[in-house]
Structure 1
């Protein structure tokens, strides 16, 4: 979607309602108030009040405020995942609302099947980094499986007639009869919504969901993690890689690469992405898998190094960027954009009841957020993982070029990470689960990997 051009079916006139610019009490009650498991004999009104109380308590406890507001400037451009929006322009503002509401929002849940090896049926208070990692992976999957510029129809309230106009233009001038056009548009709409629902189901809180909490916790056991532990952004990157590898039957033609020692090795990515042609196929070269590239980094000591802010902004301007996860224990966020000196994010610290994704037509509303929130760059934790997506070999080559340019524009002598020719010293899949990335002082600047009995998520600035 090109926000500089009008979105089909959107009026450039009028301002959005005030409740779009901030998190309102009503929006909180709507998105999480149906959660507790009430006694079937309990009176309906009592059950409703109990549910609202539990929702309110969980959200106060886990970081959401009823009175929190996120005000957005109408004079400064807002950047989100490679697109720029000027909110003073009605059409661009509506495009931003649609694009933000399309992002998958994965939060704390309660009442799901018990996690293996524990008695836990909720991740409230400990699973925020796993939820942030889910959102990062989900953005890559939406780009991988859905058409460019796709937005969630039921979130943006685009009318069916407007969808017909939009889709018929993409189908070509030969589709002229209204009846035929409606049939084709309905088919395309149905097909994309089925895909969208399938992606959401993959992140459900059920043991069968390939990227649900149960599977991610299981993948973390090889690194010594268990349900209830704190998961840092680096270990989550490796957990996501393992989860995608294990789900090759559900997600074909996709692989995940995790950078070593703050370096993306081009030959290693090529080796992962090249795959033999299927039997009977012919061609000059192997087929190419799409790739999600995850880069664990440290952007300073205890606080974000101010010189890296420009670099973070440059990366979020790129269409290949799928977001940044990071944060201290119980403070993980999924960053998707910025405006001026504030980051735009999705917050997993909101306890909602579990949705049964095994049911047909399960509700989707709680997996999407319509309330953008912001945080100052100065409050961003320096330990994070940055994500990118390339659909084809050509896109990967473009990614290498644009990311390198974005990194080199920083005034810092040594960039956040590098993209280098050649191979890493060890196979990424064989990386020891317990390791530390040490960032040396400038007079001895070089990256090295050492073993340690602590978590691989610890980054030390020497």
Structure 2
């Protein structure tokens, strides 16, 4: 059989790609083995858990205060809601980003993944209803599709589309992404997309929610209405507040305010964490902040449902949280905004 030079070159390129993927997947498994904490997180039966606007009591027949793990029956109510959240993490083995040989965001894409999780939560609230349980698998599939690691325009907030837009902010694959620019990248992608996306994104750059500005952005004339004088339709809005609320650590007087944000019915969580290590906060118990961690590597080719749901909530004491954060809310109607 005669193989053309073009065919040989193509086969060589394919071989290099698969070899690179094998290497990345091996690195990912090693990363997970080193990075992942061992054992379930401990919680107290004496304190309520606040989870994305819900207050959940630890159900126990015992009167004494106890420390339990996430395997315990007392935490079933909390765990069913936690597991229902969409978990977006590092991926390896996806098509190369831009004109690079980078096929994984391991080690640098955590803020992108954490913000993806926040937006996914907003879509879950909109499509399934706040704190709905259980959620139809078709809804999960519809939401996750927006974040799949592909360069297709239909995958609106994929890491490939994020990197394409990031060029306009002087950012490239492997760079450190700051909260403000990352929020703007996501907003621009949603604004530019021709794909149906159910929500718009508003960024409060001065950490202040201005109702009249958001209302103006959210209202639009429904094209199906023949009468131009018909009332304007309100587009569901994701409100992002990137902020720095301290130097080095978050001042104590902000602790209760931060937790209060997570108790509101319109919350979609907080992106924060430690310096250069972003995570997604979804609740708290006492002064322990509960989070989903994007620092776990999955294969990009593995898109089974279980890789998008986390079995193990983690906690971080509020005094350890870096002051650079993104607070998120989602309002579906003008009444909710008011």
TM-score (normalised: structure 1):
0.62
- CA distance in structure 1 between the partners assigned to 2:217 and 2:60 by the alignment: 43
Shift of 1:370: 1.3
Shift of 1:85: 0.9
Q: Which residue of 113, 116, 141 corresponds with 2:123? A: 141
Shift of 1:94: 2.5
Do the aligned residues in 1 keep the contact of 2:289 with 2:317 (CA within 8 Å)?
yes
Shift of 1:239: 1.4
Aligned length: 307
1:289 maps to 235
Shift of 1:80: 0.7
Shift of 1:234: 1.8
1:319-366 CA-partner distances (Å, limit 9, x unpaired): 10101112455411100100011100000011111136xxxxx51110
Q: Which residue of 296, 319, 331 corresponds with 1:378? A: 319
Shift of 1:64: 1.7
Q: Which residue of 90, 105, 116 corresponds with 1:123? A: 105
- CA distance in structure 1 between the partners assigned to 2:81 and 2:47 by the alignment: 18
Q: Considering only CA atoms, is the larger Rg found in Structure 1 or Structure 2?
A: 1
Shift of 1:256: 0.7
Do the aligned residues in 1 keep the contact of 2:220 with 2:233 (CA within 8 Å)?
yes
- CA distance in structure 2 between the partners assigned to 1:53 and 1:268 by the alignment: 48
1:361-400 CA-partner distances (Å, limit 9, x unpaired): x511101101111011111000011000000111111xxx
Unaligned runs of 5+ in 2: 1-17, 62-72
Q: Which residue of 248, 266, 271 corresponds with 1:325? A: 271
Q: 2:192 matched to 1:260? A: no
Q: Which residue of 82, 97, 103 corresponds with 2:53? A: 82
- Seen in structure 2, the aligned counterparts of structure 1 residues 54 and 311 have a Cα distance that, compared at 3 Å, is same
Q: 2:96 matched to 1:103? A: no
1:43 maps to none
Do the aligned residues in 2 keep the contact of 1:83 with 1:319 (CA within 8 Å)?
yes
Do the aligned residues in 2 keep the contact of 1:102 with 1:152 (CA within 8 Å)?
yes
Q: 2:139 matched to 1:195? A: yes
Shift of 1:53: 6.5
Shift of 1:152: 4.6
1:233 maps to 179
Do the aligned residues in 2 keep the contact of 1:207 with 1:215 (CA within 8 Å)?
yes
Do the aligned residues in 2 keep the contact of 1:125 with 1:330 (CA within 8 Å)?
no
Shift of 1:281: 4.2
Q: Which residue of 236, 241, 251 corresponds with 2:197? A: 251
- CA distance in structure 2 between the partners assigned to 1:147 and 1:321 by the alignment: 13
Matched position secondary structure for 1:293 = strand
1:64 maps to 36
- CA distance in structure 1 between the partners assigned to 2:99 and 2:245 by the alignment: 35
TM-score (normalised: structure 2):
0.84
- CA distance in structure 2 between the partners assigned to 1:97 and 1:329 by the alignment: 28
